[in-house]
Amino acid sequence: MTHSTTTPVALAMWDFSWLERRWPGAGYEDWEQALDELTDRGYDTVRIDAYPHLVAAGPYREWELVPVWNQQMWGAPAPVRVRVLPALIAFLTAARRHGVAVILSSWFREDVEDTRMWIRSPQDLAGIWVETLRHLDQAGLLDTVLFVDLCNEFPLDIWAPFLYSDPSIRRIAPGEPGRRYAARSTPEVAVWMRSAIDGVRTVHPDLDLTFSVSTELATWPDQEVGFLDVLEVHVWMANSESGDYDRRVGYHQPRFSDEGYRRLARHGREEYERDRLRHDEALFTMIDTMADWSRAVGKPLYTSECWSLVDYKDWPGLEWDWILDLNARAVEYAAGTGRWAGMATSNFCGPQFVGMWREVEWHRRLTRAITSATLDADLADTVPSRDVGGETVAARADGHVRGSGLRV
């Protein structure tokens, strides 16, 4: 697949599934096949967990990971054993062969020793990433990395529990695990983010760095993001910040109970179709809000988790057609803003989501829409670019400015 330097990238989020879902039938047991299917659908970039805390603590040792949930299709529903660095090098090497760029992130998966809690400062966070990138540099694989997201959906404590061991953060966000939130608009969190970014940038000044986010989207004017190279925002219709879909359905993202999916099967589609204009407006208004943020700060947008529901899967009573329709309209709308240098078609864009993955023509149509979109002229010198296997995976503007208009 040939990548033009004027095209945004089409993303797929393979999170920690790329490593943890490798039993027969889990979707990633054969990386060559998975990457073949990915590129056949028109995708040229994946976002994966690099497990930097485990690479830094023991790159070649075997780690036992505990499940973060058993109801979702991301990762393993039971404990698994992994050796991170050899797998990471092998996967990036395979991605290069397929002309696929990689966004490195981390969900900071819990192992039986809870190694992630060794991170006590932003300098520690920077240090584990520097060590991980050193290994990839030694393997000659840094050219496959489009950018690095230092922590998924920062500062949610499900992914960044280590943040809340810092006394300065505990003072502003007391409470039990799962009930803590320290806003990015606070000086304490902003300093944490900037210090971690600076620590990695000192060693890798040419590598683009960010923290992905899924909260405080509507209050972006209150946040300092000058130290981020790109904005990696996760946007859904079901995000409670923009609408009330989950509340109306009664879905509360239970991690170890199927009650949430039984509620989605009973009420999910019915609620959306009953008040479609309301729910669509919540999504499309948030897309406009993110485009406004990008224009205000002059940074390109990437979205690897999106657009309809946060959680979905192949399950009795759950149908994919209405999810496909809403996601398609969101992709086309977001692409028309001229602000997205890369986006996914959903956060179910992986082989384990059989009902969506098998819709090959749907994927091809939308990845064409993504990669044929034109970026606003001001983004020409701000988007990352990597040469992967002799093909440039990049997002560059050609000077044409696109506007937007609400289509629901």
Give the dihedral sign, CA 181/184/186/191: positive
Q: Is the pLDDT of residue 203 over 70?
A: yes
- pLDDT computed for residue 393 by the predictor: 59
- pLDDT computed for residue 129 by the predictor: 98
CA 370 to chain centre: 16
b/e 146-184 (16+ beta carbons within 10 angstroms → b)? bbbbbbbbbbbbbbbbbbbebeebeeebeeeeeebebbb
CA dist 25 to 34, 139, 245, 327, 351, Å?
Answer: 12, 30, 33, 26, 9
Closest residue by Cα to residue 34 from 105, 94, 120: 94
What number is the average pLDDT over the span 153-182?
90
Q: Where are the domains of the chain?
A: 9-394
What percent of the chain has pLDDT above 70?
A: 92
Contact 307, 378 (CB under 8 A): no
Contact 404, 288 (CB under 8 A): yes
Structure confidence by residue, pLDDT tens digits, 35-50? 999 999 999 999 999 9
Contact 104, 149 (CB under 8 A): yes
Give the dihedral sign, CA 205/102/9/297: negative
CA dist 21 to 18, 32, 77, Å?
Answer: 6, 14, 9
- Residue where the block lists tokens 């809000």: 289
Q: Is the pLDDT of residue 94 over 60?
A: yes
- pLDDT computed for residue 405 by the predictor: 32
Q: What SS3 state is found at 292?
A: helix
- pLDDT computed for residue 124 by the predictor: 98
What number is the average pLDDT over the span 349-377?
97
As a whole number of angstroms, the longest Cα–Cα distance in the chain is: 55
Q: What SS3 state is found at 233?
A: strand
Structure confidence by residue, pLDDT tens digits, 268-292? 999 999 999 999 999 999 999 999 9
CA 174 to chain centre: 27
Contact 205, 199 (CB under 8 A): no
Q: What SS3 state is found at 56?
A: helix
What number is the average pLDDT over the span 358-376?
97
- pLDDT computed for residue 384 by the predictor: 72
Q: Structure pTM? A: 0.92
- Taking the CA atoms of the chain, what radius of gyration do you get in angstroms? 20
What are phi and psi for residue 384, nearest 5 degrees? -70, 155
149: tokens are: 């997201």
CB neighbourhood size of 115 (10 A): 20
- pLDDT computed for residue 178 by the predictor: 78
Under 8 Å CB-to-CB from 245, ≥6 apart: which residues?
237, 238, 271, 272, 279, 282, 309
CATH code for residues 9-394 = 3.20.20.80
- pLDDT computed for residue 385 by the predictor: 66
Contact 383, 375 (CB under 8 A): yes
- pLDDT computed for residue 112 by the predictor: 98
- The DSSP secondary-structure symbol of 176 reads S
Q: Is the pLDDT of residue 254 over 90?
A: no
Among 3-12, 169-178, 202-211, 294-303, which is the least confidently predicted range?
3-12
- Compute the distance between CA of residue 94 and CA of residue 332 in angstroms, rounded to an integer: 30
74: tokens are: 């991301």
Closest residue by Cα to residue 249 from 240, 241, 357: 240
